Amino acid sequence: MIVFTSPVDHYITPNFYTQGKVGGKVAPTWNYAAVQVYGRAHIYHDAKDEGTGEFLHQQLTDLARLGEEGVMGFQNGKEGGNPTTGEHTPWKIADAPKEYIATLKKNIVGMRIEITRIEGRFKVSQERPVNDRNGVVEGLEGMQGRAREMAEFVKNGRVLAE
């Protein structure tokens, strides 16, 4: 099992509750979202094995492409690129010395998962009465950073309506 958690999570104080405080049972809690992926893992660790070398090379190639194009926005001759050098061409694994990449592969353990089941879980105060959920949103919106993101998650998660 592998667990992927949302970057948006937050402590929820009972002080945000409006309805549940008066005569109700309250306790602090944590709002979060996560996905659990189940499956069979295949581990690639033998640097001398040809299949391992090919698998790791493809992983490094894909990671470089994701970083260069997806994160940095580098496109062949298009907008984006490195403002310091003026380059707009994405870096590729082939740009590195082969010996260096071979050394990297010796120190990397690759993993591939044959997924058999995926389960999503989230807790965003949906167990609380609607007035308490509104209080959670209002309280979180008065804060900074992740708190505001969690307020949006509670609102957009469609759990406010009764």
Q: Where are the alpha helices (H) located in 46-129, listed in sequence order?
A: 50-65, 98-106
- Owning domain of residue 96: 50-108
Query: What is the count of structural domains for the chain?
Result: 2
* Residues 26 and 102 grouped into a single domain: no
Burial class (CB in 10 A: 0-12, 13-18, 19+), 110: middle
* Residues 24 and 67 grouped into a single domain: no
* Residues 82 and 35 grouped into a single domain: no
CATH code at 10? 2.30.110.10
* Residues 98 and 58 grouped into a single domain: yes
Q: Of 77, 108, 139, which residue sits at a domain end? A: 108
Q: Any bridge partners for residue 35, and if so which?
A: 4, 120
> What predicted TM-score, i.e. pTM, was given to this entire model?
0.63
* Residues 89 and 128 grouped into a single domain: no
Q: What is the pLDDT of residues 11-61, one digit of tens each?
A: 999 999 987 566 667 889 999 999 999 999 999 998 889 999 999 999 999
Do 117 and 40 meet the contact criterion of CB atoms below 8 Å apart? no
